[in-house]
Amino acid sequence: MPSREILENLKASADVLQTYRDKIGKPIRITSGWRTPSEQQKLINAYNRHDGSQRNKPSETSLHLEGLALDFCVQGSSQSYAQDIIDEIHMGEMEFGSNYTHIGLPTFSKKYLERNGIYNSKIYRKVNIGDVELTPYEKQKIIKRMNASNWQNMPSNFDKTKNNNTFKGVKINFLNYYGEIAPEPSLSKKIFTREDIAQMSSNDYIKFENHIYKQLKTIGIPTNYEAQVAVQNGSIIWVDPYIRKDGTKVSGYYRRA
């Protein structure tokens, strides 16, 4: 039997799906909801047999385990029609197949963070306290549910003309996100790209979160391509990788002019 918490999660998932059904205007048939750990393991075992019975690789940390994911199909319509609508409005996990759609609700529970190996009390407090304004995308990034391709599909809002005065007064002891010691000047002049952020560990993201958030609200988060164009225009600078006198390797990075 599902726990009270899982039942509440299932209701929340169903409420979201009902909203999407109203927009799609077609009947929806749910093909998979809450799964027990043993049911999830059976799917994983079937996939590992490579006998064709399970084509999609199930996750060991699936949101189905918490009742926070639903698989469904739309009757009387192509799946792509429904998926185009959902893609515009859904803020959590999405997986689109030719005959099914998977959605997962954004979740920041202790169980979820523990299953993904990224739980600590600071992350948990950060994503759950109510007086901190974080967008769903920012929360998803903290729990590593976004990768470079997700960032790539979002408008970057990068404005190269604003970068010169963006980081004045920001003083943070900066360690490079590859674990190397950063050069002077401090983090106040560094500009993170989307690809930089996608490569960070959870701990590094938390370490640089204030700086990233300020950059997001001012000049935006550029793609590597946008940053390269800005370098060519002379509005930001690329610092080549180098080795300090003490032998420490420093990765290349973008900084304000």
The domain ranges of the chain are 4-106, 108-145, 154-256
C-alpha–C-alpha distance, residues 125 and 215, integer Å: 23
Separation in Å, CA 62 to CA 16, 111, 153 = 18, 11, 24
Is the predicted pLDDT of residue 110 greater than 90, yes or no? no
- Alpha helix ranges (H) inside 25-70: 37-49
30: pLDDT confidence band, cut at 50, 70 and 90?
A: very high
CATH fold of 4-106, please? Muramoyl-pentapeptide Carboxypeptidase; domain 2 (3.30.1380)
Is the predicted pLDDT of residue 136 greater than 70, yes or no? no
> Across residues 158-168, what is the average pLDDT?
51
38: pLDDT confidence band, cut at 50, 70 and 90?
A: very high
Dig out the tokens for 98 from the structure: 């030719």
- pTM value is 0.53
Is the predicted pLDDT of residue 104 greater than 80, yes or no? yes
